[in-house]
Amino acid sequence: MKISVLAAGLWAASTLAAPASFNSVSLVRRSEDELGSLVLAVKAQDDINDPDDLTVASTVINTGNTTLKLLNDPNGPLSTWKTHTFEFYEVPVGGSRKRATGSTAGVHAVRVKYNPDVAASLSNPNAYTVLKPGENKTVVHDLSGMYNFQTTGAYEVRTTTNAEWFRVVKDDGSVGYVKAKIYDGAEAANWTATHISESGTFASMRGLISAGIPSHLLARRWEEGSGLAKRVLYNNCSAIQEKDILHGVAGANSYITQSIQFLANSYYLGNSRYRTWFGPYEKKRWDTVARHFAMLHGQPPRFRYDCSCTEEDTFAYVYPNQFGTVYLCGAFWRAPVMGKDSRAGTIIHEATHFTSIAGTDDYAYGHEEAQKLAINFPDQAIMNADSHEYFAENDPQLV
């Protein structure tokens, strides 16, 4: 599976091309070419006999002239988190892999709250990857339990559009973006090709039970007993952590109640608070946001909070289809109880990811990206977890 340094050298001399595609990310982020140049290559398994034993390797190469400090974004190729970083496209019979436009394999991925500015401020070397000119980094991704394939036959693996964007820590500590070029040399078609055998299992039999990072325990099934659902539950938490969680839960409840009241009483076009995070008024979108907050009402005290995650650059994560357990990570404990990127807001962020509540995604992280998303893509903003969190936190205050 590992790709050699020799191959990396060949890539630098090959013709490189990024696939043309229209997506929201290109308008939310702006590639700063002066920061550097990156190439991204992906190599799949040759054959997949079992989706519960599936790996993909990704290699990032610094083809520029300057050293780059890249954040290990949980949604990108430099991280081993089991997020939605890769797509498997079915190749039509007799079709070209280059034009694979068939149905995609179903994916079950974790949802992670991550703030690039917070990560960039850390001195922890696990939060970033440093690549000097000509250097490369290969990461092998364990995708077991994530994908359900509809049919046997040929598939092509690609990174998602989001995963082509790398966050670069600048000299002043701020974060910029470089869009990687996708390797398109002679070997690329073979590297990205894989095959589901006739004897293969199409669907995962065990589902997603690991976040993909070694410091985490396996996910526990949510216990729905009537007695447990009425109080906050904890896994692997100290007494101090339990107290911090209770404060966050109380803050989340307060934010949710305030948001519901605001949406009920501020039904007009000039609402700057709504417009900032969800875009211009449109009744269907407004109603969707109001429904999400109504579904959140009373939920935070019913969750189980797991403190086993130790990732310093991450706030929290959930398994969207496993309702009720919120995994809290290192950045959560450093966050304020209330306010911007708070513990209370983190709980709301993660709660919206549950499919039974809102089923949100992470289209944009942080204030700046979320505001741009609202301007350019309001339909995605109303399904973005950070947008809900920032609307609820309302810091700085908008009316």
pLDDT at 266: 79
311 is catalytic: no
Please check whether residue 19 is in contact with residue 160, taking contact to mean a CB–CB distance below 8 angstroms.
Answer: no
DSSP state of 192: T
Q: Which of 110-124, 184-198, 205-219, 368-382 has the lowest mean pLDDT?
A: 205-219
Residue of 209, 78, 79 lying closest to 144 (CA atoms): 209
Q: Which of 78-82, 105-109, 193-197, 323-327 has the lowest mean pLDDT?
A: 193-197
pLDDT at 30: 60
36: which 2 tokens?
Answer: 């550097």
We find that the CATH architecture of domain 228-393 is: 3-Layer(aba) Sandwich (3.40)
> 5-196 with 228-393: one CATH topology?
no
Enclosing H/E stretch for 149: none
> Which one is catalytic: 90, 350, 389, 393?
350
Q: How far are the Cα atoms of 62, 89, 374 from residue 32, in angstroms, in the given order?
A: 15, 30, 22
Please check whether residue 309 is in contact with residue 319, taking contact to mean a CB–CB distance below 8 angstroms.
Answer: no
Size of the chain in residues? 399
pLDDT at 131: 98
**pLDDT digit string, tens, across residues 176-235:** 999 999 998 877 888 888 887 755 556 666 667 777 765 443 333 333 333 333 478 999
Please check whether residue 51 is in contact with residue 142, taking contact to mean a CB–CB distance below 8 angstroms.
Answer: no
- The DSSP string of 342-353 is -HHHHHHHHHHH
Q: How far are the Cα atoms of 57, 96, 309, 322, 325 from residue 219, in angstroms, in the given order?
A: 25, 39, 11, 9, 8
Please check whether residue 182 is in contact with residue 38, taking contact to mean a CB–CB distance below 8 angstroms.
Answer: no
- Burial of residue 273 (CB within 10 Å: 0-12, 13-18, 19+) is middle
Backbone phi, psi, residue 55, to 5°: -135, 155
Domain locations in the chain as residue ranges: 5-196, 228-393
- Would the pTM count as exceeding 0.75? yes
Question: What confidence tier does 1 reach under pLDDT thresholds 50, 70, 90?
Answer: very low
Identify the residue with better confidence: 332 or 103.
332
Distance CA 88, CA 278 (A): 31
Residue in the block written with tokens 């589902």: 207
Mean pLDDT for the stretch of residues 359-383: 97
Asked if residue 15 has pLDDT above 70, the reply is no
Q: What single-letter amino acid sits at 145?
A: G
Distance CA 26, CA 227 (A): 48
Please check whether residue 88 is in contact with residue 104, taking contact to mean a CB–CB distance below 8 angstroms.
Answer: yes
pLDDT at 7: 41
Enclosing H/E stretch for 392: helix 385-393
Most confident of 51-65, 148-162, 219-233, 241-255: 241-255
We find that the CATH architecture of domain 5-196 is: Sandwich (2.60)
Mean pLDDT for the stretch of residues 13-27: 39
Distance CA 353, CA 139 (A): 27
Asked if residue 329 has pLDDT above 90, the reply is yes
Asked if residue 386 has pLDDT above 70, the reply is yes
